[in-house]
Amino acid sequence: MYSYLALGDSYTIGEQVRINESFPYQLVYFLRQHNIDISAPEIIAATGFTSNELINAISSASLLKQYDFVTLLIGVNNQYRGRLAEEFSAEFELLLKQAIQFAGDNSGAVFVLSIPDWGVTPFAAERNTKKIFSEIDSFNQVCE
């Protein structure tokens, strides 16, 4: 049976959706539909998490030593709170190294997901959507 660790923020846990509609659970459901034996995901994520908050949550969590694969999606709250991509870069590098360690030092078992552009949502209707897009793009370049 495969094990899966999902690291991230509200995009990972699915803010205001049922747990089975969250990305990690949709992925597990998809894999099971394709006859892949996988356990329920272990999730370290919360609404509002920035990269440094995720680092802190990981350090205080009781986790397995190794997972078959790990997903990492973080950064939107760094952008939302006006933090710089340059500051995010060092924290993201640490998170990526931790994710690779959780995957048994197999970088091929770590999947980094790009940060969705929340500037296209109704929540951003009264905001500078071009600025949001540009900043999200900068954060995604760090992740790339």
- pLDDT average, residue stretch 96-113: 98
**For the residues 33-48, what does the mean pLDDT come to?**
97
Rounded-to-integer distance, Cα 20 and Cα 26, Å: 6
The DSSP output letter for 40 is: P
* pLDDT level of residue 111 (50, 70, 90 thresholds): very high
Q: Give yes or no for residue 124 having a pLDDT over 80.
A: no
Q: What is the model's pLDDT at position 44?
A: 97
Query: β-pairing, 69-73 with 42-45?
Result: unpaired
Say if residue 14's pLDDT is above 80: yes
Residue-range domain boundaries for the chain: 4-143
Is 24 within 8 Å of 4 (Cβ atoms)?
A: yes
- What sign for the dihedral angle of Cα 132, 77, 81, 79? negative
In the numeric block, the tokens 């694969």 are attached to 69
pLDDT at position 127 is 87
Go through 42-64 and write b for each residue having 16 or more CB atoms within 10 A of its CB, e for each that does not. bbbbbeebbbbbbbeebeeeeee
Alpha helices in 34-125 (DSSP H): 51-60, 76-80, 85-102
Range in 11-15, 81-85, 90-94 with the lowest mean pLDDT: 11-15
pLDDT at 50: 97
* 129 or 37, which is more confident: 37
Give the domain 4-143 fold.
Answer: Rossmann fold (3.40.50)
Provide the β-strand partners of residue 72.
7, 112
What's the angle, vertex CA 17, arms to CA 15 and CA 51, rounded to 5?
Answer: 25
